Amino acid sequence: MTKVIGSKGKIVNVQMTGMAGVMTRLAFQKKQIENNADLGVVKAGAFIEEEVKESIIGNRAEHKSVATGQFANSIEFTKTGKAQGIVSPKKETYPNSKSTTEDVALILEKGTSRLPARKHFGNTEKRNFTKVQDIIKKEVDAGFI
């Protein structure tokens, strides 16, 4: 609470009380917003994981990249820190091959002299950048009480 406790000339003395309560409330709200941002990133990561998979199996603009389904099934969101994560293929080796799902992801993303780039990750990011922001913003905004 704020109240004027006196004045002299052009100077007004103001006393503020209850600051400890305000600071406690702000600390609580900061923690709530951080937790909600973390939740937003997890939700956005799960969304992007599914979008990349849809791209790989041919349900988005990119050419389908499915032979056995192992590559599409290897895509996962991994939380890497507070409000941080990455969507990438699990490191798996294809049967009867030395190639890993990471190798395949790089080849498909960049292309080769015989295979045009399919950019499942890059195009998914471009297509859904605003959607990801909206998902995270919605969760952060829910932290404001």
- Residue 18 is assigned to a structural domain of this protein: no
The whole-angstrom separation of Cα 119 and Cα 52 is 10
* Local confidence band at 145 (pLDDT 50, 70, 90 cut-offs): low
pLDDT tens digits, 131-142: 999 999 999 998
Looking at residue 135, the DSSP 8-state letter turns out to be H
- Paired with 75 in beta bridges are 89
Which strand (E) or helix (H) includes residue 70? helix 70-73
Task: Dump pLDDT digits (tens) for 38-64.
Answer: 999 999 999 999 999 999 999 999 999
- Nearest Cα to 103, choosing from 115, 92, 87? 92
The separation between CA 45 and the C-alpha centre of its own chain, rounded to angstroms, equals 5
Q: Which residue has the tokens 């699990």?
A: 90
Residue 129 has pLDDT above 70, yes or no: yes
Q: Does 40 reside within a domain?
A: yes
Does 97 fall in a domain?
yes
**10/74 Cα distance (integer angstroms):** 71
Which residues have a Cβ under 8 Å from the Cβ of 109 and sit 6 or more positions away? Answer: 117, 118, 119, 120, 121, 122
**Per-residue pLDDT reduced to its tens digit, 76-87:** 999 999 999 999
How many domains is the chain partitioned into structurally? 1
The domain of 35 spans: 24-141
Q: Is residue 16 part of a domain?
A: no
- Report if residue 78 sits inside a domain: yes
Interval 92-106 mean pLDDT? 92
Residue corresponding to tokens 């395949």? 104
How many of the other CB atoms lie within 10 Å of CB of 102? Answer: 15
